[in-house]
Amino acid sequence: MRPIEYVDPTSKRQVVKLLATTWGETEILAGGTDLLSLMKDEIVTPKRLVNIKGIEELQGIRYNAQSGLRLGALVTIQELLDHPQVLRNYPALSEAADGIRSRQIRSMGTVGGDLCQRPRCWYFRGGFGLLAKEKNGKSLVIEGDNRYHAILGNSGPSYFVNPSTLAPALIALEASVRILGPRGEREVPLNKFFIIPQSEHQREYDIKPNEIVTEILVPPSNGVLNVTYEVHQREALDWPLVTASVAFKLRRKRVRSARVVMGQVAPVPWLSKEASTALKRKKINEDVAKAAAEAAVKKAKALSRNGYKIQLARVAVKRAILLATQGGE
Query: Does the domain spanning 225-325 belong to CATH 3.40.50.1980?
Result: no
What is residue 328's predicted lDDT score, i.e. its pLDDT?
A: 46
Q: What's the CA gap between 205 and 207, in Å, rounded? A: 6
Q: Which fold has domain 5-54?
A: 3.30.43
Report the C-alpha gap between 50 and 6 in whole angstroms: 6
For the chain, residues classed under CATH 3.30.390.50 are 225-325
Model confidence over 150-164: pLDDT tens digits?
999 999 999 999 999
Quick: pLDDT tens for 15-69: 999 999 999 999 999 999 999 999 999 999 999 999 999 999 999 999 999 999 9
Indicate the pLDDT class of residue 239, thresholds 50, 70 and 90: confident
Half-sphere exposure of 178 (CA within 13 A, CB side): 15
How confident is the model at residue 1, as a pLDDT?
Answer: 66
- Where exactly does CATH 3.30.43 map onto the chain? 5-54
Q: What is the mean pLDDT of residues 227-238?
A: 87
CB 116 within 8 A of CB 213: yes
Q: For position 234, what pLDDT does the model report?
A: 80
Q: What does each C-alpha distance from 60 to 3, 111, 213 come to in angstroms? A: 34, 11, 14
pLDDT at 329 over 50: no
